Structure 1
Amino acid sequence: MPITTGHFGKALWPGINAWWGKAYNEYPEEWSKIFDKATSRRAFEEDVQVSSFGLAPVKREGAPVAYDTEEQGFVTRYTHLVYALGFIITREMVEDDLYDIVGERRAKALAFSMRQTKETVAANVLNRAFNSSFVYGDGQPLLSASHPNVAGGTFSNRLAVDSDLSEAALEQACIDIAKFTDDRGLKIAAMPEKLIIPVDLMFEVDRILKSEYRPGTNNNDINALNLQGRFKDVVVNHYLTDTDAWFIKTNVPNGLKCFQRRPVDFSMDNDFDSDNAKYKATERYSFGCTDPRGVFGSPGA
């Protein structure tokens, strides 16, 4: 629907002191603190798992060497979607607008909408992390206690008991991450890298991580999380919707990823018959996760 002089009658007359509702501050970009970014030149990208070798058995004297094998595992596909938004202004509105409230300011608002869209799409990877309706290459949601291994068995990237953010929960998460193995059960040096929380937990996280002694107790024990510096980077994400869910990005490669197929592009044109001006913005990208070991979390208690 075009923006006409009827939508902004006040813009046609002098005497307006301020137009409010658009000049809000914006949070700095947050998705790039969570996802590893790559570019793409295809309609989609696929990450394919390759199984590893197991432990070497004892070779008896004169006996042949045992030979292992490897195989293709689970496939994760990133399909790049186009996100687009635009607006239409009548020529009369452009001519009669005394404050440029519709033209230049709407272009800035369009850019704001595109940035907010990208943040929301990115955060939804975590917002849906426990939802069985959104599964990945192994047929499981992002955070699951039943991720299958190609060689058999399963592994978990969530707490055995759902817990709110606390000293004990973070310590257990660090222990669970340190016990990560590859597809054949070999130990890997997985470590926490970033703690990702909603705004609702931004005060609690400081009490847990920055106290010299154990928070919330009468004991004089040291705060081991603080002493060991387990979480050097805490990311507060304003687009997470669950007030008590929290997440950990690990150092495991090929975890949370973003593929940029086409950066945001702004364009405009005029309709010959109506003389309406059309403005639009488009961007194409995808967000997801390849190796579930790249992230750990809890939905809260």
Structure 2
Amino acid sequence: MAIQSSTIVDALDANLNEMFQDGLTSWDEEYSKVFNLETSDKQSEKDSYESGFQSMPQKSEGQAANFDTILQGISETYMHLTYAQGYEITEEAIEDNLRTQDTFSKLPQALNRSAIETVEVTAFNIFNNGFSTAGFDGVSLFNSAHPDLDGGTQSNTPSVQADLSVTSLTAGLTTIEKYTDERGLKRPTKAVMLLVPVDLWNVADELLGSEFKPYTANNEVNAIQKKDLQYMQGHYLTDTDAWFLLPEKDMHKLKFFWRVRLGALKRGTDFDTTNLKGLK
């Protein structure tokens, strides 16, 4: 729908002192701190994986060595999506507007803000939907029964969801360092980031920043500090009490693909209506 004179009534008022524009500023970029960013020039991208070998068995004298094989994993295909939005201003709105520069000059910035927000929300919806949407292995991203290729299962979430606390965070840090690979070998995984919604920033700060163990008068050392864990507020996380522990990016493999990055604003005048258009 085009922006018309009736849309900007106040801008036609000669007594108007200033026109404020909402939606111009945004938080610093967050998704790139969590996701592995990749570019693509294909219609789609595909990932797959394979196992390593099982632990080496003992060999008796004179007996043949055991010959193991690798196991083929499940593949995942990423289909690229297109997002676009623009604005349109009628010629009359431009002509009638007494403060054209103030009214319309910030629209490109507002449109860019819309694009930035869309990127962040799209990325963090991986977390927001991670307890309900099935992934490539048939279960949700955060699940207590991820199938291993050797027939077992592994969990990356508590069997009973727990609020962020000394106890739950300690348990999470411990569990991550007990992870094994598809053949049962120890996987050297260490949490480096605690990702929390803005509702939990104070709890995260108390847990990681206190010299002594939080919420106790026993003068115990804060052992969590020894883990060199950093926390990050995710402004686009929607669950107010969900929290996440992440290892280094090359360990968790969460990906965000760019087919075409956000570019400059496209502008033009519609031949039929003489309306001014801007497109991102």
Answer whether TM exceeds 0.5 for this pair: yes
The answer to which structure has the higher strand fraction is 1
TM-score for the superposition, normalised by structure 2: 0.94
1:105 partner amino acid: K
Q: Are the counterparts in 2 of residues 33 and 235 from structure 1 also a CA contact under 8 Å?
A: no
- TM alignment of 1:124-135, pairs within 5 A: 124-131=125-132, 134-135=133-134
The whole-number CA distance in structure 1 between the counterparts of 2:266 and 2:138 is 40
The whole-number CA distance in structure 1 between the counterparts of 2:212 and 2:83 is 48
- TM alignment of 1:159-174, pairs within 5 A: 159-174=158-173
The whole-number CA distance in structure 2 between the counterparts of 1:87 and 1:172 is 50
Query: Which residue is equivalent to 1:275?
Result: 274
Q: Which moved more, 1:172-181 or 1:14-23?
A: 14-23
Query: Which residue is equivalent to 1:47?
Result: 47
Query: Which residue is equivalent to 1:242?
Result: 239
The whole-number CA distance in structure 1 between the counterparts of 2:149 and 2:227 is 34
Q: Secondary structure of 2:74's match?
A: strand
Query: Which residue is equivalent to 1:293?
Result: none
The whole-number CA distance in structure 1 between the counterparts of 2:83 and 2:202 is 34
CA RMSD of aligned residues (A): 1.5
Relative distance call for 1:24 and 1:90 in structure 2 (3 A) is closer
- TM alignment of 1:79-228, pairs within 5 A: 79-99=79-99, 100-131=101-132, 134-226=133-225, 228=226
Q: Are the counterparts in 2 of residues 268 and 278 from structure 1 also a CA contact under 8 Å?
A: yes
Q: Are the counterparts in 1 of residues 46 and 77 from structure 2 also a CA contact under 8 Å?
A: yes
Q: Are the counterparts in 1 of residues 24 and 109 from structure 2 also a CA contact under 8 Å?
A: no
1:261 pairs with 2:259: yes
Deviation at 1:8, TM superposition (A): 1.0
TM-score for the superposition, normalised by structure 1: 0.88
Q: Which moved more, 1:11-20 or 1:49-58?
A: 11-20
The whole-number CA distance in structure 1 between the counterparts of 2:25 and 2:270 is 34
Deviation at 1:24, TM superposition (A): 5.3
Number of aligned residue pairs: give it. Answer: 277
Query: Any gaps of 5 or more consecutive residues in structure 2?
Result: none
Q: Which moved more, 1:206-215 or 1:239-248?
A: 206-215
2:107 partner amino acid: R
2:231 partner amino acid: V
Deviation at 1:38, TM superposition (A): 1.2
Query: Any gaps of 5 or more consecutive residues in structure 1?
Result: 282-301
User: What is the aligned-residue identity percentage?
Assistant: 37
The whole-number CA distance in structure 2 between the counterparts of 1:89 and 1:79 is 34
CA offsets 1:32-73 (integer angstroms, 9 cap, x no match): 111111111112211101111101111222211211111320
